[in-house]
Amino acid sequence: MAEVTKTNLPSPEEVIEREMELARTEAKPISRRMLVGILVKDLGLAPPIAEAVVEQYCDEKVAYIPEFLAREFFLPYVKISSLVMWIGCLVALAVGATRWRGEQLSYPYFIAAAVLFCLGGIGLIKALRAEKESVF
């Protein structure tokens, strides 16, 4: 039978303390969600287990660590606004097509649809890039 050897992985508490110290020295904010992401990435813990470890550690020792930061909280709203812009794009296209078939002035609706499509795409790309760069 194969022997299981203990690896040199640090404990979750050591990783949390290291990341908090790193955030303190670099003067960057850190949240519980970021800490959960770091434990998942560095130690390979399952997200629910990592979340429980972070919650327990932070509640006992550093209760001032927030759940979310502004950037983490803002990303879903950027995605939703992109979706709303794309829905507006579809509406503008529909109105423009209806007016075009009726031989009325339609190009402003097509221009508005193109602008909404581009703004929604830019917002979604920026949100996804920011999410990819974040730890979680």
Map out the domains of the chain as residue ranges. Answer: 12-60, 70-133
Over residues 108-123, the pLDDT tens digits come to 999 999 999 999 999 9
CB of 78 closer than 8 Å to CB of 127 = yes
pLDDT at residue 3, rounded to an integer:
46
Q: What is the DSSP letter of 104?
A: S
pLDDT at 93: 96
Q: Label residue 32 by pLDDT band (50, 70, 90).
A: confident
Q: For residue 63, what pLDDT band results from cuts at 50, 70 and 90?
A: low
How many other CB atoms are found less than 10 A from the CB of residue 133? 7
How many Cβ atoms sit within 10 Å of the Cβ of residue 96? 20
Query: What local confidence, expressed as pLDDT, does residue 111 receive?
Result: 96
Contact at 8 Å (CB) between 16 and 57?
A: yes
